A and B are shown apart, each in its own frame.
Chain A
Amino acid sequence: MNDLVRLIGLAQPLVSKHLRVLREVGLVGVRDEGRQRMYSVNGQSLKPIHDWVKTYERSWSKRFDRLDVVLEELKEMKEDDRGRDE
């Protein structure tokens, strides 16, 4: 918990509040270890969200793959121009 507060940079009560919500919907698990509360991410319950966004993400990746090809050509054209100038 102290680690999370430090990493996120929010006040401890606010972090607790977020964690409680995440715990209630099953996205994080928690266990007590001595005086510390240890939180863990439940990847399985995040999977539906991941799957939902993945198809959209893939369509952008396909788009950017083609943009990569265009950019390589633009870079080559620029090198040719430079070659002519010299």
Chain B
Amino acid sequence: MVETSSGTAVVTLPTDTQILIEREFNAPRHLVYKAYTTPDLIKRWWSGDRGEVTLAEVDLRVGGRWRYVMEANGGFEVGFHGEYREVVPNERLVTTEVYEGMPEGEAVVTHTFSEKDGRTALTILMQLPSQSDRDAVINSGMEGGMQEAMDHLEQVAVSLH
């Protein structure tokens, strides 16, 4: 029997300008890396429960660009893009990341994939230019949650109409 659920993501704030995200997966790291870097696979998970991924472009080489676009549940589009700075297959990816709604706060994101006993520990370290940029990223989660709440409220309102 395969254990699917590997627990929840753990988010910590190591410094005023960093966000660290950690999660373990019940799969070898070359598969986690594959799911992380293959457009058709990215489309299936990247949006979480926030919407649907409408575009996933990956030019996986140093200096290559990436861009993901998601149609959020509220109907609006959310885009992220960046450039690959380091590409060590199955081990390490360093990318820049810009949220297109806040283009001044470019993050440098280091992904580390490490495998032990067939399981993979993924760490994602986001380095933001300033504390206010870091806080804006955390707040975006809040706003997303708010947006979903508003959408649900809208559905309820429409059903009452």
Q: Which residues of A contact B (CB under 8 A)?
A: 52-53, 55-72, 74-75, 78
Q: Which B residues are CB-close (under 8 A) to A66?
A: 44-45, 48
Contacting chain A: which of B7-15, B55-63, B100-108?
B7-15
Which residue in B13, B23, B44 is a CB contact (below 8 Å) of A60? B23
Q: Which residue of A lies closest to B13 (CB)?
A: A53
Is A71 a contact partner of B27 (Cβ separation < 8 A)?
Answer: yes
Which residue in B5, B35, B48, B144 is a CB contact (below 8 Å) of A74? B35
Q: Which residue of B lies closest to A71 (CB)?
A: B27
Known: A55-B141, A74-B34, A75-B27. A69 touches B45 (CB 8 A): yes
Which residue in B6, B32, B48 is a CB contact (below 8 Å) of A62? B48
How many A-B pairs with Cβ below 8 Å? 90
Binary CB contact string for chain B from 1 to 36 against chain A (1 if under 8 A, 0 otherwise): 010111011111100000101010111000110110
Assembled-state Cα–Cα distance A20/B142 (Å): 31
Count of B interface residues, CB-CB < 8 Å: 35
Which residue in B10, B26, B49 is a CB contact (below 8 Å) of A68? B26
Assembled-state Cα–Cα distance A65/B137 (Å): 21
Q: Which residue of B lies closest to A77 (CB)?
A: B31
Interface pairs (9), CB distance under 8 Å: A56-B142, A57-B141, A59-B50, A61-B8, A67-B25, A69-B4, A69-B45, A70-B41, A74-B34
Known: A53-B11, A56-B11, A56-B142. A68 touches B5 (CB 8 A): yes
Assembled-state Cα–Cα distance A72/B25 (Å): 10
Q: Which residue of A lies closest to B19 (CB)?
A: A56
Q: Which A residues are CB-close (under 8 A) to B5?
A: 65, 68
Q: Which residue of A lies closest to B138 (CB)?
A: A56
Assembled-state Cα–Cα distance A60/B24 (Å): 12
